[in-house]
């Protein structure tokens, strides 16, 4: 992959050499699709690619927000740099987008009977990518949004007269309590309908949610958070409904910016690894908790979206072949023929199928990811940094505790004290508290390692023709971190920081000043800490105790 400057990054993708007619493009051409989560990070990439595949109509479930109608929101979202290529191909692409007023938190996802009838009469594919991804949200909220919302969409799918596939975007960590995760369904910790009833009880009766909050940790254990727990239960719904409707479940790992399709390193949020790297680049985040030797299972967003479209296409063809086999077997049975055991087994195959979309087996470690991104931040710093980007890493909780005090708590209190007297309303400590809570939730996933089986997904890649492999780049085995990290850093600077190439040299000069100031601050800071330790030692007699122990050791020799 070529290295790009931020000003060149939009012109990277080119599909001129790919014919208009390929198996996958022909499959999606003319389809009517219902998408949830179309306003989110992955959702916008799904929208761009589906419209580029010439779908007939794309219904996007959304809701009015901040004084804007649902359609006004979509028009604003679908006009940025991600859609530049689509704009060149089809200037009127928004004519094929319809905003559907709805909410996954409500029963029947908030659809009116009229809209519901329109969808059930026309929709071919439902792509459910909406989810509340906050690790710290309450069990009640996630049960209503992620779990009940999914069930309501499955009920809608059952009513669709022309449904070809229901695709659900889960997470590779839905069953993170296991270290080896295959592409199959696992036993749910509780019946999802029971969990929905519990959440509805607290919702409908306005009961004190603190009761549920108190027992949440023990309720979801051994799952590390309510988000992963809700995804595990949602997958159980997929297994159950898969007996009646065709379903694919996509499990991506830690999603980062795009690889190349339609533009390299595009991202529009600061969740997960994106947010950590942005905070490090700003000089705000000084502590990162991870095991340097463990594999960093990251996946580019366009690999996830293209893999999803490939899995839908492939599974549809499998089921089409299976139905043909069933009809042939039925004809043989009617004519008195003998049905083989192999063909009989095909008749009992369930409709749902799981695909793990994770990094390749020999992918890089967290340590290597951290080191390369540190080098990129040095080469291309941001003009918005508040200090130089120097991070301390550890995998031990006791060490994290001391480092947080030294590099977050004490400096934060000092900065806030100064800001208070300068009448500046900004404060660092509230941000540090929020960041620390997020890091505590993320620690579980960065200090452990999982092995994911990708057999189903790799089989899909092998069945794609060369032109589809080029138009739907999705094979994670083609990913090289060292070639990508350069663009990744530039993408964060451009799309999150709104930086341009003209900002780099001023940012470097600013960073050099920060480094000089940092040396003086360190000298003063550690001197003050040494003095504080010395006088506290005198106050509590620690110095005398240490001196006596040293003298005893000397006398023994």
Q: What is the pLDDT along the chain (557 residues), one digit of tens a residue?
A: 445 454 444 455 566 677 889 999 999 999 999 999 999 999 999 999 999 999 999 999 998 887 888 899 999 999 989 999 999 999 999 999 999 999 999 999 999 999 999 999 999 999 999 999 988 889 999 999 999 999 999 999 999 999 999 999 999 999 999 999 999 999 999 999 999 999 998 888 776 677 777 888 888 999 999 999 999 999 999 999 999 999 999 999 999 999 999 999 999 988 888 888 888 888 888 888 899 999 989 999 999 999 999 999 999 999 998 877 666 655 555 555 554 444 444 444 557 899 999 998 667 899 999 999 989 888 889 888 888 888 888 888 888 888 888 888 888 888 888 888 877 777 888 888 888 888 888 889 989 999 999 999 999 999 999 999 999 999 998 899 998 999 999 999 999 988 887 888 888 888 889 888 888 888 887 888 788 777 776 766 655 655 665 556 555 55
Contact 473, 259 (CB under 8 A): yes
Residue 136: HSE in the Cβ half-sphere, 13 Å Cα cutoff: 9
pLDDT at 345: 45
Please list the helix, strand and coil fractions of the chain in percent, rounded to the nearest 5, in that order: 55, 10, 35
Contact 488, 257 (CB under 8 A): yes
**4 lies in some domain:** no
What is the CATH classification number for the domain harbouring 464?
A: 3.40.50.720
Contact 39, 268 (CB under 8 A): no
pLDDT at 553: 56
Please enumerate in sequence order all residues whose Cβ is within 8 A of that of 130, keeping only pairs 6 or more positions apart, or say none.
36, 37, 40, 43, 61, 104, 149
**398 lies in some domain:** no
**542 lies in some domain:** no
* Closest to 258 measured CA to CA, from 304, 296, 295, 309: 304
Domain that holds residue 179: 9-269+297-331+351-365+452-468
**253 lies in some domain:** yes
Q: What pairing do the DSSP bridges indicate for beta strands 57-62 and 451-452?
A: unpaired
**305 lies in some domain:** yes
Query: Residue 329, Cβ neighbours under 10 Å: how many?
Result: 17
Distance (Å, rounded) from C-alpha 130 to C-alpha 217? 24
pLDDT at 347: 42
Contact 1, 489 (CB under 8 A): no
Query: Residue 127, Cβ neighbours under 10 Å: how many?
Result: 27
Distance (Å, rounded) from C-alpha 229 to C-alpha 235? 10
pLDDT at 346: 44
Count of structural domains, the chain: 1
Cα–chain center distance at 156: 26
Q: Please list, residue by residue across 167-193, b when 16 or more beta carbons sit within 10 angstroms of its beta carbon and e when fewer do.
A: bbbbbbbbbbbeeebbbebbebbeebe
Distance (Å, rounded) from C-alpha 493 to C-alpha 344? 57
Cα–chain center distance at 187: 24
Three-class DSSP labels, 214-263 = HHHHHHHCCCCCHHHHHHHHHHHHHHHHCCCCCEEEEEECEEECCCCCCC
pLDDT at 229: 96
Q: What pairing do the DSSP bridges indicate for beta strands 392-394 and 451-452?
A: unpaired
**395 lies in some domain:** no
Q: Is the pTM of this model over 0.85?
A: yes
**301 lies in some domain:** yes
């Amino acid at each position: 992959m070529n290295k790009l400057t931020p000003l060149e990054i939009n012109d990277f993708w080119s599909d001129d050499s790919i014919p208009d007619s390929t198996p996958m493009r022909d499959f999606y051409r003319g389809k009517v699709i219902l998408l949830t989560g179309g306003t989110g990070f992955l959702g916008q990439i799904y929208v761009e690619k589906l419209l580029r595949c010439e779908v007939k109509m794309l219904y996007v479930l959304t809701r009015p927000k901040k004084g804007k109608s649902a359609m006004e929101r979509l028009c604003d979202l679908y006009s940025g740099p991600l859609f530049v290529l689509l704009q060149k191909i089809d200037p009127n692409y928004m004519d094929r987008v319809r905003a559907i007023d709805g909410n996954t938190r409500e029963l029947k996802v908030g659809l009116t009977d009229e809209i519901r009838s329109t969808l059930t009469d026309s929709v071919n594919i439902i792509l459910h990518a909406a989810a509340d991804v906050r690790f710290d949200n309450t069990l009640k909220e996630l049960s209503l949004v992620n779990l009940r919302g999914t069930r309501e969409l499955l009920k809608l799918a059952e009513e669709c007269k022309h449904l070809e596939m229901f695709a659900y975007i889960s997470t590779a960590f839905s069953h993170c309590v296991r270290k080896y995760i295959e592409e199959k369904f696992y036993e749910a910790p509780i019946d999802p309908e029971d969990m929905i009833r519990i959440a509805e009880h607290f919702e409908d009766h306005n009961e004190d949610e603190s009761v549920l909050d108190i027992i949440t940790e023990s309720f979801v254990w051994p799952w590390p958070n309510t988000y992963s727990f809700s995804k595990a239960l949602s997958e159980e719904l997929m297994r159950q409904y898969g007996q009646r409707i065709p379903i694919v479940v996509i499990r991506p790992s830690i999603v980062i910016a795009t690889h190349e399709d339609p533009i390299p390193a595009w991202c529009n949020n600061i969740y997960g690894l994106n947010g950590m790297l942005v905070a490090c680049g700003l000089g705000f985040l000084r502590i990162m908790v991870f095991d340097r030797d463990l594999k960093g299972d990251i996946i580019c967003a366009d690999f996830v979206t293209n893999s999803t479209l490939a899995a839908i296409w492939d599974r549809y063809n499998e089921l089409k072949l299976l139905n043909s086999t069933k009809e042939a077997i039925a004809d043989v049975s009617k004519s008195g023929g003998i049905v083989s055991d192999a063909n009989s087994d095909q008749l009992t195959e369930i409709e749902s199928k799981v695909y793990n979309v994770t990094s390749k087996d020999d992918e890089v470690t967290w340590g290597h990811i951290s080191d390369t991104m540190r080098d990129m931040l040095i080469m291309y710093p941001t003009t918005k940094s508040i200090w130089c980007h120097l991070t301390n890493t550890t995998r031990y909780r006791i060490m994290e505790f001391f480092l947080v005090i030294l590099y977050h708590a004490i400096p934060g209190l000092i900065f806030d004290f100064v800001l208070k007297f300068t009448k500046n309303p900004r404060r660092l400590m509230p941000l540090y508290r929020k960041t620390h809570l997020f890091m505590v939730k993320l620690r579980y996933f960065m200090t452990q390692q999982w092995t994911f089986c990708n057999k189903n997904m790799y089989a899909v890649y092998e069945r794609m023709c060369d032109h589809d492999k080029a138009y739907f780049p999705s094979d994670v085995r083609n990913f090289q971190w060292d070639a990508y990290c350069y663009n990744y850093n530039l993408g964060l600077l451009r799309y999150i920081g709104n930086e341009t190439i003209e900002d780099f040299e001023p940012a470097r000069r600013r960073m050099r000043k920060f480094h000089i100031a940092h040396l003086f601050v360190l000298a003063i800071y550690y001197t003050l800490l040494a003095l504080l330790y010395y006088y506290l030692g005198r106050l509590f007699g620690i110095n005398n105790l240490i001196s006596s122990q040293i003298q005893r050791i000397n006398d023994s020799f």
